Amino acid sequence: MPAEQPLIELRGVKKIYGSGDTEVAALAGIDLAVRDGEFVAVMGPSGSGKSTCMNILGCLDAPTDGHYYFRGADVGSMTREQRALLRRHYIGFVFQGFNLLKRTTALENLELPLIYRGVPSAERRRLGLETLAQVGLADRWHHTAAELSGGQQQRVAIARALVSSPSVVFADEPTGNLDSAKSHEIMQLLKSLNAERGLTIVLVTHEEEVASYAGRQVRFHDGLIASDTGVPR
């Protein structure tokens, strides 16, 4: 039988910044495949290329050379509008800084991406409340982000990433602004979402303890993949 097609795949991807004497290869030619249902931690020191890789996977940046495939479609051949639609409908993001609207309720923060997708008001509310319940915040839907703790804000941010049922969630240092106890709670939540819902997660972190929650660790060094603990299933 043919091998299962990866959800996301990079082939020979390079990213060059600058030119001449100032040229820097943020990515020096990498191959990476992630399949549906994987939980992958992308690791490496500052300047290793891990954040550049995440930006390309999230359609926030484009490779200088090589190819990025999303469910077999060549992202590099897409128009800017098509890439925006890909982000909107298939990709969820969780950031270190939460990126919530502070004076807006938890529910309204979840409804915002659904508004962009043209989801009717009653359906937005239903999906928002259901998703907040999934992250343990059913009783906090009416609280503004400013009224929530850091851990609760990150739960809202995770719920916002989930509410549109993405194919993959990219989490960029999601515990970077949290203490160790709250970090453990957030990582346990992500691990359970991966195990119980089959949610595909790609996590960028520089912390070994955080990476240990993932089933696979990919380490970057000087723009290349230095090690990969597991071959994609």
Confidence tier at 31 by pLDDT (50, 70, 90): very high
Q: Mind listing the pLDDT tens digit for each residue in 105-129?
A: 999 999 998 988 889 999 999 999 9
Predicted pLDDT at 4 = 77
What is this structure's pTM?
0.90
**Amino acid in position 171:** A
Given this model, what pLDDT does residue 206 score? 87
Summarize pLDDT for 32-78 with one digit per residue, the tens.
Answer: 999 999 999 999 988 899 999 999 999 988 999 999 999 999 998 99
State the CATH class of domain 36-60+79-228.
alpha beta
Q: In the prediction, which pLDDT does 21 show?
A: 85
**Exposed, middle or buried, 34 (CB in 10 Å: 0-12/13-18/19+)?**
buried
Bridge partners (DSSP) listed for residue 8: 34, 70
CA-nearest of 115, 103, 104, 152 to 132 is 152
As a whole number of angstroms, the distance between CA 34 and CA 5 comes to 9
The predicted structure's pLDDT at residue 28 = 93
Q: Name the band, by pLDDT with cuts 50, 70 and 90, for residue 1.
A: very low
Q: What is the pLDDT of residue 34?
A: 96
